[in-house]
């Protein structure tokens, strides 16, 4: 347990682990639906334990979402033009979105169990 203010630097290994896991996949060989499922799995499962124990800084959550967004649209970690607004992508599938999880919302939900 950490007894001081936690900076985003403290979570660098977590971000790097997600980045390595996504980079290991050949996203060009997956269709976009496969990439969405992979991003939901990787970005949701790897930081879950950390998210249920600590408040993750917004900068780290934004970086995790950015990694997922880049992988969905380009198939690798290169920058590419987004085809749909991010607000539409994060909507539930039944509402017409792709159902991509948002890291900040996941962190809040997992910490809510401690209340």
pLDDT in tens, 49-84: 999 989 999 999 999 998 888 888 876 556 666 677
Token pair belonging to 106: 């996941």
pTM: 0.83
Q: Find the length of the chain.
A: 115
Token pair belonging to 43: 């970005």
What CA–CA distance (Å, rounded) separates 84 from 12?
Answer: 29
Q: What's the mean per-residue pLDDT of the chain?
A: 84
């Amino acid at each position: 347990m950490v007894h001081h203010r936690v900076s985003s630097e403290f979570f660098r290994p977590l971000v790097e682990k997600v980045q390595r896991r996504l980079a290991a996949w050949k996203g060009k060989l997956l269709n976009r639906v496969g990439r969405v499922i992979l991003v939901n799995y990787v970005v949701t499962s790897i930081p879950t334990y950390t998210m249920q124990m600590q408040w993750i800084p917004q900068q780290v959550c934004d970086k995790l979402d950015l990694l997922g967004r880049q992988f969905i649209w380009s198939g690798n970690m290169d920058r590419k033009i987004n085809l749909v607004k991010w607000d539409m992508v994060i909507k539930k599938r039944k509402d017409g979105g792709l159902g991509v999880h948002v890291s900040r919302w996941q962190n809040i939900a997992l910490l809510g169990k401690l209340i």
